[in-house]
Chains A and B, each alone.
Chain A
Amino acid sequence: GAGVSQSPRYKVAKRGQDVALRCDPISGHVSLFWYQQALGQGPEFLTYFQNEAQLDKSGLPSDRFFAERPEGSVSTLKIQRTQQEDSAVYLCASSPAGTGGGQPQHFGDGTRLSIL
């Protein structure tokens, strides 16, 4: 498709389980971002990739969160030993820009993660 695709759209997991969320960015986009959006709040930055390089992971809440983009295209956000506070919508965005930015980021529809 033409837009950013995320899967699954919904994920329910028990506390303590590991989860993996997938993002397919717009073809050719250099930059890929992950954001976390709590209910009623704006998205908050988690991490950023330029091609396969993870240039900023300052927003990852703990070492239970791990993201990768091994071939510079598809990205996976993994959360280990999930906790209830991890429940949120996880948004992926991509942009054609490399360093320097200045171009809009285009978002997928997110994965809604619920931890029981």
Chain B
Amino acid sequence: GESVGLHLPTLSVQEGDNSIINCAYSNSASDYFIWYKQESGKGPQFIIDIRSNMDKRQGQRVTVLLNKTVKHLSLQIAATQPGDSAVYFCARLITLKLIFGTGTRLQVFP
């Protein structure tokens, strides 16, 4: 079916370390994937996207990797900061609607 799942519900990292958040997806025709960050009491905030014809895309301090062979998506955050603490969702676009996973909570400690 059309689903997006996450490996870990919570990830704790030390400030300054790199964070990696993983996401698995099921077989589908979707070719567009997005990572969102959601802070408490706020709506999801766009971080970075990637299309299925790409394996990697980089933004400011963030990198998204797409492995179509094993249907796996990851978000890497370099030099994690306290402001990065939030819930992170991967989502895929299926006929214009976004299908979200349940999210990974990233906790950054000093």
Contact = CB atoms under 8 A, between A and B. Distances in A.
Contacts, number: 60
Interface in B84-110: 89, 91, 93, 95-103
Interface stretch (B42-50, B58-66, B73-81): B42-50
Contact of B45 (A33, A41, A102, A107): A107
B21 interface: no
A73 interface: no
Interface of B: 4, 32, 34, 36, 41-46, 49, 51, 89, 91, 93, 95-103
State the main secondary structure of chain B at its contact with A: strand
* Chain A residues touching B, range: 20 to 34
A56 interface: yes
B44 A43 contact: yes
12 contacts: A33-B97, A33-B98, A43-B44, A43-B100, A45-B98, A48-B96, A59-B97, A91-B43, A99-B96, A104-B46, A105-B46, A107-B36
Contact of A42 (B41, B43, B89): B89
Contact of A45 (B34, B43, B99): B99
A108 B44 CA distance: 8
Contacts of A110: 42-43
A102 B31 CA distance: 9
Interface of A: 4, 31, 33, 35, 40-45, 48, 55-56, 59, 91, 93, 99, 101-102, 104-110
Given A4-B43, A109-B43, A43 B98 contact: yes
A100 B94 CA distance: 10
B43 A107 contact: yes
B96 A108 contact: no
A107 B91 CA distance: 13
Nearest to A107: B43
Given A4-B43, A42-B102, A56 B96 contact: yes
A18 B36 CA distance: 31
